[in-house]
Amino acid sequence: MATRPKTVQLKADGRFWLTLDGRNFLGRGRVELLHRIRETGSISKAAKAMKMSYKAAWDAVDSMNGAWQSPLVESSPAGSRLTDDAERLIAAFHKAEARHAAFMEKLTDSLSGPVS
């Protein structure tokens, strides 16, 4: 009696990051942090909204500011704001992440079917 090939549900999966000089630079969490800073005008309020410590948020902002050629977040006693570079990088990230998701979906589709 011949055995039927088993159908399995394989899924391609992977996190998406933009790297800079070989180091993780901008990922989903950092982009969300930037969005929250834009919404609240404050690193502290953005951190609170994301349920993260102020230090973790500040370290992420400091890391991004230091890695890029100019600051992405400018802070003053009145609050924090995103620079034009940050806005462009957020848009580029979303566009690239959407293309990555579409690629991963196509890859997953190519993996489905009988496995012998």
- In this predicted model, what pLDDT tens digit does every residue of 27-61 receive, in sequence order? 999 999 999 999 999 999 999 999 999 999 999 99
Report pTM. 0.84
Kindly report the number of other CB atoms within 10 A of residue 55's CB atom: 9
**pLDDT tens, position by position, 3-28:** 666 666 788 888 999 999 999 999 99
Distance CA 4, CA 64 (A): 53
**pLDDT tens, position by position, 67-101:** 999 999 999 999 999 999 999 999 999 999 999 99
Domain at 19-104, CATH class: mainly alpha
Q: pLDDT band at 104, cuts 50/70/90? A: very high
Q: pLDDT band at 66, cuts 50/70/90? A: very high
Residue ranges of E strands in the chain:
6-8, 17-20, 23-27, 73-76, 79-82, 113-115
